[in-house]
Amino acid sequence: MEFAIGIYLALASALFGIGAIGFLLRRNALIQLMSIELMLNAVNVLLVAFNRVHPENMAGQVFAFFVIAIAAAEAAVGLAIVISLFRLKQTVETDSADELRY
């Protein structure tokens, strides 16, 4: 059975496109964070799929592990920023975050 990377490429492209559109069109900071996570997961799908094509080294899975670690750190910092924004402005809409201090 041959590994069909085209299916995973199409899946990752669709996930990345949905994430990019969600980030660009929505103004809710939580939705934007989820869109960034969706784009990072699309990259992970591609890394693991390309690792299946070249199984002699585990570089794709190692990079996917680091992307997961970076995504966890990004989520923690992003949620802290969203909580701080909500405490200052009483909303999580990014249009209201136009100044750096209260």
What confidence tens digit (pLDDT) does each residue in 16-57 have? 999 999 999 999 999 999 999 999 999 999 999 999 888 888
Domain residue spans of the chain:
5-96
Is the CA virtual torsion 65, 70, 96, 89 positive or negative?
positive
- Spatial distance between the Cα atoms of 71 and 78, rounded to a whole number of angstroms: 10
Q: Regarding predicted confidence, which is higher, 102 or 7?
A: 7
Q: How confident is the model at residue 71 (pLDDT cuts 50, 70, 90)?
A: very high
Which pLDDT score is estimated for 89? 85
> What is the CB neighbour count within 10 angstroms for residue 46?
21
Which pLDDT score is estimated for 100? 60
Mean pLDDT of the chain: 90
Structural tokens at position 66: 């680091």
Res. 98: pLDDT tops 80: no
Q: Note the CATH architecture for domain 5-96.
A: Orthogonal Bundle (1.10)
Full-model pTM? 0.86
Which pLDDT score is estimated for 30? 92
Place of tokens 């966890």: 72
